[in-house]
Amino acid sequence: MIGGHDQLELAPWIKRFPGEQGTSTIVFPHAGGAAAAYRSFASALSDRGVDTFVVQYPQRGERLAHPAAETVADLAADMLGALDWAQLGPLRLFGHCMGALVGFEFTRLAAQRGVTVRELWASASQAPSTVEGSRPVPTSDRELLADIVDLGGTDARLLEDEDFLELLLPAVRADYQAFNRYSCGRDIRVDADIHVLGGQADHRVDQDLLRQWEIHTDAAFTFTMFDGGHFYLDDHLDEVAELVSCT
């Protein structure tokens, strides 16, 4: 049972979906993504007994007025400092796209602070050591909008709403700038298991970029592909939730 976990004092920007399973799961959204976008996935995990927490990055939702993080590592430190995660025992992390990099840095920082991360699920994300050599992602309004359309995953009708874009673009820009500043050597490894997931038709993150996650763990590594593109998760919520909850 959850027991003392019910007494946790959560920041208003950490959304909890209670479950009874021993290993708590933290979900890290993609670049520009809000916690609300992962409500269905978190509910699917919770339905399988997984105590699930979805975090919110600055510049959106309840954190609209919070200053943007300069780096991915800063984002990870922000998430780690938001709660005494050690109370929950060993953790499981799930991150989509940039969220997997935030999870990776969270894992590194957690080890220094006595917080155990047992597993990192890296979804539709290139391996940490491949980012620095990649083409920078765009940061101007016009290029950002084109990139969002190219990736999919956002309702096209919303992208025609000026008020929505006024909220969305600063959040995406903040995350993209943090992504562009990210670097990680091939020798950087964590003790957590790394499980990589991806979409067969993802034209942004190919299988080679996904498979290179293996060099970043001293523990187990698995690799699973699904039909679909960069946001394959939207079409495979139950399958992925079942896979994550069974480990």
Average model confidence (pLDDT) across the chain: 93
What are the pLDDT digits (tens) for 16-38?
999 986 789 999 999 999 999 99
* Contact by Cβ (8 Å): 134, 120: no
Q: How confident is the model at residue 243 (pLDDT cuts 50, 70, 90)?
A: very high
What φ, ψ does residue 190 adopt, rounded to 5°? -120, 165
Q: Which of the four pLDDT bands, split at 50, 70 and 90, describes residue 159?
A: confident
Residue 220's CB is within 10 A of a number of other CB atoms, namely 12
- Contacts with 57 (C-beta within 8 Å, 6 or more apart), sequence order: 29, 33, 63, 69, 75, 78, 171, 174, 175
Q: How far is CA 47 from CA 17, 27, 40, 50, 143, in A?
A: 9, 15, 10, 7, 39
Closest to 58 measured CA to CA, from 90, 34, 94, 26: 34
Nearest-angstrom CA–CA distance, 215 and 187: 8
pLDDT computed for residue 2 by the predictor: 41
Q: Does position 180 have pLDDT exceeding 90, yes or no?
A: yes
Residue 130 has a pLDDT of: 98
Which tokens is 27 given? 């979900």
* d(C-alpha 63, C-alpha 58), whole Å: 5
**pLDDT, tens digit, for every residue of 204-238?**
999 999 999 999 999 999 999 999 999 999 999 99
Predicted pLDDT of residue 1:
34
Q: Which pLDDT does position 23 carry in this prediction?
A: 84
Long-range contacts of 112-116 (CB under 8 A, 24+ apart): 113/80, 113/86, 114/86, 115/80, 115/85, 115/86, 115/91, 116/86, 116/89, 116/90, 116/91
pLDDT, tens only, 86-140: 999 999 999 999 999 999 999 999 999 999 999 999 999 999 999 999 999 999 9
Q: 155: pLDDT confidence band, cut at 50, 70 and 90?
A: confident
CATH number for the domain harbouring residue 91? 3.40.50.1820
For residue 207, the enclosing domain spans 3-245
Query: In this predicted structure, what is the pLDDT of residue 242?
Result: 97
The tally of domains found in the chain comes to 1
Provide CB contacts within 8 A for 159, sequence distance 6+.
Answer: 145, 148, 149, 165
* pLDDT confidence of residue 154: 78
Least confident of 4-13, 38-47, 197-206: 4-13
pLDDT beyond 90 at 161: no
pLDDT digits (tens, 9 = 90+) for 54-94: 999 999 999 999 999 999 999 999 999 999 999 999 999 99
Residue 5 is predicted with a pLDDT of 56
CA torsion 211→77→44→147, rounded to 10°? -60
On whether the CB atoms of residues 80 and 54 are closer than 8 A, the answer is no
- pLDDT at position 7 is 65
